[in-house]
Amino acid sequence: MDIPLRAVLDALDDAVFVHSRCGLILDVNARALDMFRVSRERALQLSLARDCSVDPCFMLCRPGLWLSVSSGRGPLRLEWDARRPGDGSEFAAEIVLTRIDTVDGPAVLSTVRDVSWRRAGQKYLVGRAQDLARLNDELQRFAAAAARQLEESRSLLAARAGDGADAAAALRVHERLIEYARVQFAPGPFEPIACDELLGTVQELLAAEISAADARITVEPLPTILGDRGQLLVLFRHLLANALRHKGETPPRVHVKAEREAGGWTFTVTDNGPGLPLDEVARLREGGSGPLGLEDVVPGLGLELCRAVVARHGGRLWAVSDPRRGTAVHFTLSAGASG
């Protein structure tokens, strides 16, 4: 059976180029024209290295590569970031370079395969691995915090099993464990949340504590953001409750505000309490934006809850403390909706 070579090349699913050692295209198959979105006339005016590469130096600046190919030490298989001269779009490719001998002397035969799907799969797997690593870290932190809290509740119940106050304290520990598990493993959908209304709900939930402490809570106009209503309710409730609980000699004064920043909002909850110990303050300032060292602001699982909520909303949490002025807890939330 006599089948023309051109028909065989045009039937291939890979792009095929015949080009000079400097990358000037001498011939192509039909798949190459389709893959790079050019006509045959246009293709024969191009250089594979200069016009079809995202980075021309990938081929032009590697003399060792061409020496290996032209000397017959091939074929060479490489990952390549290709560019379509037809529309300027880019894609991941695998290119195999092989020397061939023609009547006009040595040339290079290149076969090109679009491997964008493989690159996307690799990126997905890397992302999944990072997600699993983060989840594992969260689980380890949760397990450590849970162990401490459970040991605390066990000790309370063992020491004074008949004391109603201790039983209530143990119950609060277990409720916090359940709350943390819900935040981490049963999140709700993101939806537009009016933070003004959310703070109103939090103050209603804390009405008894606010009255008992003779506290005053002021709130500046807050934005509407995209978030998980249940989780944000947990976040604000814990921050306000801790500001009420860790009070100084004077009645608590708590202020909540939000400032627009690049890409989101920075929320601040300030109080007039006794502040953090000096060594904790120094460590927080040295650590910059890191959330570590806030155990005195949001102790135990309360800290883990707040960190988990803020992290899920694409933000970070930190604190600034002054014994004379109290503590300011800051956290950022992404701008999911206009406020």
**339 residues of the chain, pLDDT tens digit each:** 455 777 888 888 899 988 876 668 889 999 999 999 999 999 888 888 788 888 877 766 665 666 677 677 768 888 888 999 888 999 999 989 888 888 877 888 889 999 988 888 888 888 888 887 887 777 667 666 666 666 666 666 556 555 566 566 555 665 665 665 555 555 678 999 999 999 999 999 999 999 999 999 999 999 999 999 988 998 999 899 888 887 778 899 999 999 998 888 999 999 998 875 555 444 444 433 333 333 333 345 566 678 888 988 889 888 888 777 788 989 999 866 444
Quote the pTM value: 0.48
CATH number of the domain where residue 284 is located: 3.30.565.10
**Same domain as 53, residue 28:** yes
How many other CB atoms are found less than 10 A from the CB of residue 87?
A: 9
Last residue of a domain, one of 168, 186, 204: 186
Could you tell me the sign of the dihedral formed by the alpha carbons of 276, 281, 283, 285, in that order? Answer: positive
CATH number of the domain where residue 22 is located: 3.30.450.20
**What is the extent of the structural domain holding 37?**
5-114
**Same domain as 171, residue 34:** no
Residue with tokens 């699913």: 13
Secondary structure string (H, E, C) spanning the chain: CCCCHHHHHHHCCCEEEEECCCCEEEEECHHHHHHHCCCHHHHCCCEHHHHCECCCHHHHCCHHHHHHHHCCCCCEEEEEEEECCCCCCEEEEEEEEEEEEECCEEEEEEEEEECHHHHHHHHHHHHHHHHHHHHHHHHHHHHHHHHHHHHHHHHHHHHCCCCHHHHHHHHHHHHHHHHHHHHHHCCCCEEEEEHHHHHHHHHHHCHHHHHHCCCEEEECCCCEEEEEHHHHHHHHHHHHHHHHHCCCCCCCEEEEEEEEECCEEEEEEECCCCCCCHHHHHHHHHCCCCCCCCCCCCCCHHHHHHHHHHHHCCCCEEEEEECCCEEEEEEEEECCCCC
Residue 296 is predicted with a pLDDT of 35
**Same domain as 283, residue 235:** yes
Total structural domains within the chain: 3
- What would the two tokens of residue 147 be? 């162990």
- What would the two tokens of residue 314 be? 């694409």
**Calpha distance 92→120 (Å, rounded):** 9
Q: Say if CB 307 and CB 300 are below 8 A apart.
A: no
Residue 257 is predicted with a pLDDT of 96
**Same domain as 196, residue 107:** no
**Same domain as 233, residue 96:** no
Nearest-CA neighbor of 110 among 8, 21, 6? 21
- Which residues, in sequence order, are bridge partners of residue 156? none
- Which residues, in sequence order, are bridge partners of residue 194? 224
**Same domain as 77, residue 55:** yes
**Same domain as 74, residue 202:** no
**Same domain as 21, residue 75:** yes
Q: How far is Cα of residue 113 from the mean position of the Cα atoms in its chain?
A: 31
Nearest-CA neighbor of 138 among 333, 308, 316? 308
**Same domain as 178, residue 51:** no
Please report, to the nearest 10 degrees, the dihedral formed by the alpha carbons of residues 240, 244, 246, 252 taken in order. Answer: 120
**Same domain as 57, residue 11:** yes
Last residue of a domain, one of 114, 145, 176: 114
Last residue of a domain, one of 126, 153, 186: 186
**Same domain as 100, residue 175:** no
**Same domain as 38, residue 62:** yes
- Which residues, in sequence order, are bridge partners of residue 261? 264
